[in-house]
Amino acid sequence: MNTKARNTQTTKERIIEAADDLFYQKGYEFTSFADIADEVKISRGNFYHHFKTKDDILGAVISHRMNKTKKMLKEWEDESKDAEGRIRCFIHILIANYAKIKLYGCPVGTLTTELAKLDHASQEDANQIFTLFRKWLSNQFKELGLKKEADSLAMHLLALSQGVATMATAFPSEAYVKQEVNHMNEWLRQQITNHSNN
């Protein structure tokens, strides 16, 4: 997770990364300043030198997640030259992150639903992370020639992966997740085959 050495990071960066983890693991509302301060090992007072309100930290965390996501999507683009392979990279995160998903669900989906319930101002910012995936997936489908249905297919794949994450939290089973991942890969193959046959 945090591979950088502690002393190469500013306190602000350390706060953001600690908050990022805690918001994911405990939820935004249930994470207090004391929790984050304990994790970063600074006093609560020092906190307000870097962030004026809890909402400011949330904003910074969302922005941090946006950057992490953009980076990851670029890595997937380098990893695979064809769009099918890139979409498979997306599908594969369910397996790669299974250990965390079974405990805390999907970081994007769970933050979105929590902020929706809190009727929080940052809700739309959090949705932007979803939009990042949505547009990226949509572009991949377009590259496969599925121009008209690209956005629908992207939304469908996002929904499926969200649902699998939720079910994996309720009924933790790696076998189940793998089964759904195989199902998604087959579905992807079928979309491409169906299209090239038309």
Partner DNA sequence: GTCTATAGATTGATAGAC
Partner DNA sequence: GTCTATCAATCTATAGAC
Give residues in contact with DNA (CB under 7 A).
Answer: 10-11, 31-35, 41-50, 52-55
- The distance between the two most distant Cα atoms of the chain, rounded to a whole number of Å, is 65
Binding map of a second copy across residues 145-184, x = CB under 8 A, - = no contact: -------x--xx-xxxxxxx-xx-xxx----x--xx--x-
Rule CB under 8 A: say whether 116 interacts with a second copy.
yes
Main-chain dihedrals φ then ψ at residue 6, nearest 5 degrees = -55, -40
Q: What's the gap between Cα 69 and its chain centre?
A: 7
- Closest by CA to 94, choosing from 16, 2, 183, 196, is 183
Residue 181's CB is within 10 A of a number of other CB atoms, namely 20
Contacts of a second copy in 33-52 (CB under 8 A): none
Rule CB under 8 A: say whether 122 interacts with a second copy.
no
Q: Which does residue 50 touch among a second copy, DNA, none (CB within 5 to 8 A, set by kind)?
A: DNA
Closer CB to a second copy, residue 17 or residue 180? Answer: 180
HSE (side-chain half, CA atoms, 13 Å) at 32: 5
Closer CB to DNA, residue 52 or residue 178? Answer: 52
